[in-house]
Structure 1
Amino acid sequence: MLKDSFLKYLQFEKNYSDKTIVSYGIDLEKFEEYFKSVDESLDFTVVDADLIRGWVLSLMEEGYTATSVNRKLSSLRSFYHYLLRQGVVSVDPLLKVTGPKKKKPLPVFIKDADMTRLLDETAFDAGFEGLRDRLILEVFYETGIRRSELIGLTDADVDLSAKQIKVTGKRNKQRLIPFGDELKEDIEAYLSARKDLLPEGGEAFFVRRNGKAMYPYLVYLLVKRYLSRVVSLKKKSPHVLRHTFATSMLNNHAELSAVKELLGHESLTTTEVYTHTTFEELKKVYEQAHPRA
């Protein structure tokens, strides 16, 4: 049988693991069950693209995820490549078959009310480190910069008189991000505490007590520790605060193109993922508020 010879080929010539070979066998059996249910006289050599599309649809209706369906299609593609090499078939029926697209997960973000609780009601350590930690969270939330961009900030990048930060992003592309009076005051308080601790300054804008620049894992731990106080999300990273910035801006009627520039995205398509997040929030509000929802 064609199926058995293919599985032996995987075992002896391709050296696939027993587990993988069993999976391929199950996928082929499931496909055979499907086309036999359509027409008992059919076999692997005469199926066409429409029949395979019908199988894909039936799998989706059974509740298989896009990932599972695409894996089964991968098994089928390998099988028909084998049949082509053996001269058993002359046309690959999967040539014009595309698998279902995987759903991109929506960005995780924190609600504005939780960020207000974090910044206004949470007790931070006294002194330099407390001021620094709170400012780091505030800068992430109010500017949407990346962790690497925050670590790379220098004193020259922060213009207090113009109330703007010069950020060097991917591929050394620079952008200017404005900030408000409250953030300006908090920056001044941090710089004052830093000057008392390190009169000659440090390696970067945000530093440790020894004057050395912050490093990525330290910033991650800092953010995770403080976010744990106000949310129970699984993901509690600096990037979540970047998502939070973007979502908050769009929820408060910012133009998508403006948010794109502030985030330093190359393409508007990248920024559009946040519109899906805001729509999900809108759906929740509707379902909670409308009596017929």
Structure 2
Amino acid sequence: MRKPEPPSIKELEAFLEMLSAERNAALNTRMAYARDLRDFQGFLTRRRATLPAADADSIRAYLAQLDGAGMAPRTAARRLSALRQFYRFLAAEGWRKDDPTLAIDAPKLGRPLPKILSEEEVVRLLEEAAKLPGAEGARLVTMAELLYATGLRVSELVSLPLAAVTRDQRVLVVRGKGGKERVVPLSEPALDTLKIYLERRREFLQGPPDRPAPSPWLFPSRGKSGHLTRVRVSQLLKDLAAKAGIDPARVSPHVLRHAFASHLLGHGADLRSLQKLLGHADISTTQIYTHVAGERRQTLVRDHHPLSKTRKGG
């Protein structure tokens, strides 16, 4: 059997070609792998080593350098993932006898807790939205109410069809990830704002006011998609946060989804019901909100219990 030839200086290009041809990886994905591997290549060059021949000690030294530079563990883990796939490819092609990444432990990531707004902050946000005049105000307060009342993802919100709310119903049938449908109940405030918005919706349609062009979307737009974009919704919410005296960096559509979940859990909702409302495929994703609720309870005890050592004057 003919022994495979050693890798050429184009081993990285061969790997990227494999990603494209065999895995149908998107251009952005291939570019990200290329950046990560070339960064490691630069590190190896300074150590007078080469990319295809790197050993486990070199990889550990590289990860230690990333940690020393303050790189987030999640980003370092992504870099290591690129290295794993690259060296697995070299071993599969017979260009290496071993995979040096097998001996490397992934950085400990922890599980980041979601950003949370308090109930009082959400009320301030909604009250500020209700003050805004005209059709723009009616639309924004409706979107904010729907996000907080239903826990919709922003992609689900902007792609809601008009048919989802034109009938006199108290629930939304939402098509979520993977095309799966779920039923989400609507609150009275959300229903009230919807009715007001629907009377002004024609102002967002293309064409003359007396003969606007029809649109299948609840939140139509003159953009390419035909409906409001996720980016635009996020911008509008950040502007609203500034008006309400809340740091805009703390507010986004996803933060309102987190607020919906954590506030429901705080008021006694069970995890299974919450999982269905959020459209999570796995309940482990929903369980992160138990950690949020736990931290809030710890803060409550620490700040207000009469025997707390951290309390002023205690």
TM-score normalised according to structure 1 size: 0.66
Within 5 Å, give how 1:92-241 maps onto structure 2.
98-122=105-129, 124-158=131-165, 161-195=168-202, 202-203=214-215, 204-208=217-221, 212-230=226-244, 231-232=246-247, 234-241=249-256
Q: What is the CA distance between 1:182 and its match in structure 2?
A: 2.1
- Aligned-partner Cα distance in 1 for 2:220–2:118: 28
Q: What is the CA distance between 1:264 and its match in structure 2?
A: 0.6
Letter in 2 for 1:213: H
- Compared with structure 1, are the counterparts of its residues 134 and 240 closer, same or farther at alpha carbon in structure 2 (3 Å cutoff)? same
Letter in 1 for 2:132: D
Contact 1:164/1:177 (8 A) holds in 2: yes
Larger radius of gyration between Structure 1 and Structure 2: 1
- Compared with structure 1, are the counterparts of its residues 71 and 172 closer, same or farther at alpha carbon in structure 2 (3 Å cutoff)? closer
Residue 246 (structure 1) aligned with residue 254 (structure 2): no
TM-score normalised according to structure 2 size: 0.62
Report the identity percentage.
29
| Matching residue of 1:49 | none
Q: What is the CA distance between 1:187 and its match in structure 2?
A: 0.9
Q: What is the CA distance between 1:193 and its match in structure 2?
A: 2.2
| Matching residue of 1:265 | 280
- Aligned-partner Cα distance in 2 for 1:18–1:148: 34
- Aligned-partner Cα distance in 1 for 2:255–2:235: 13
| Gap regions ≥5 residues in structure 2 | 1-8, 13-36, 48-62, 88-96, 204-208
- The root-mean-square deviation of aligned C-alpha atoms, in Å, is 4.6
- Aligned-partner Cα distance in 1 for 2:179–2:254: 19
Q: What is the CA distance between 1:152 and its match in structure 2?
A: 1.1
Letter in 2 for 1:265: H
- Aligned-partner Cα distance in 2 for 1:136–1:215: 12
SS at match of 1:234: helix
Within 5 Å, give how 1:7-156 maps onto structure 2.
98-122=105-129, 124-156=131-163
Letter in 1 for 2:297: L
Q: How many equivalent pairs are there?
A: 254
- Aligned-partner Cα distance in 2 for 1:116–1:145: 18
- Aligned-partner Cα distance in 1 for 2:218–2:170: 15
- Compared with structure 1, are the counterparts of its residues 20 and 242 closer, same or farther at alpha carbon in structure 2 (3 Å cutoff)? same
- Aligned-partner Cα distance in 1 for 2:230–2:266: 29
- Aligned-partner Cα distance in 2 for 1:202–1:142: 27
Q: What is the CA distance between 1:112 and its match in structure 2?
A: 1.0
- Aligned-partner Cα distance in 1 for 2:181–2:247: 34
- Aligned-partner Cα distance in 2 for 1:64–1:199: 56
- Aligned-partner Cα distance in 1 for 2:100–2:197: 66
SS at match of 1:113: helix
- Aligned-partner Cα distance in 1 for 2:77–2:112: 18
| Matching residue of 2:30 | none
Residue 255 (structure 1) aligned with residue 270 (structure 2): yes
SS at match of 1:167: strand
Q: Which deviates the most, 186-195 or 104-113? A: 186-195
SS at match of 1:239: helix
- Aligned-partner Cα distance in 2 for 1:256–1:122: 30
- Aligned-partner Cα distance in 2 for 1:189–1:70: 47
Q: What is the CA distance between 1:284 and its match in structure 2?
A: 1.3
